[in-house]
Amino acid sequence: MRLRGFLSPAIVLSVILLDRLTKGLALENLRFAGRELLPFLSLTYVENTGVSFGLFRGNNAFFVVFSAVLICALMFFRRRLAAHGAAAETGAALVLGGAVGNLYDRIAYGHVVDFVDLSFFPAVFNVADASITVGAVLLAFGMRDEGAGAGPGKQQEERKKCA
């Protein structure tokens, strides 16, 4: 069995499970009172109808549709994304897991449950938001050389032709 073929589904499932677990704990324990863990880290219950990190609040229905389309696109293009290497494949898996986690909240609760509150960061977020953000960075990093064709040698040949 190929490890790589197992890794992406395992990442997606792990993100979804960790997101559900932490949001369940937030719903159960933080609804009426937050908790300060460190001087810069608190757990604070927030209902978010926008996107990651509280942007564009009040648009839950739009983001249900947007999330569903994003999930379908990631599933459709997963092999093409994986062809860009481990960083792109891992990034896509992290984005997919985070998108599914937040979509679940939007459908089940009408909002996303956020609870991680860093004093130096302007918004409260959750595991899914962090996964989407890290995943997008990895995806971009993995796809950064997409226009390079066959690599640096190919680019140098093209430059010589133009000169």
Q: Give the residue numbers marked as catalytic.
A: 114, 129
Could you tell me if residue 43 is left (phi over 0), alpha (psi between -120 and 50 degrees) or otherwise beta?
beta
User: Between β-strands 124-125 and 112-118, what pairing exists: parallel, antiparallel or unpaired?
Assistant: antiparallel
Strand partners, 146: none
Nearest to 99 by CA among 121, 78, 123: 78
What backbone phi and psi angles, to 5 degrees, belong to 104?
-55, -50
What span, in angstroms and rounded, lies between the C-alpha atoms of 48 and 159? 50
Q: Answer for the pair 99, 74: CB distance below 8 angstroms, yes or no.
A: yes
DSSP 77: T
Q: How far is CA 154 from the centre of its chain?
A: 33
The type of residue at 20 is: R
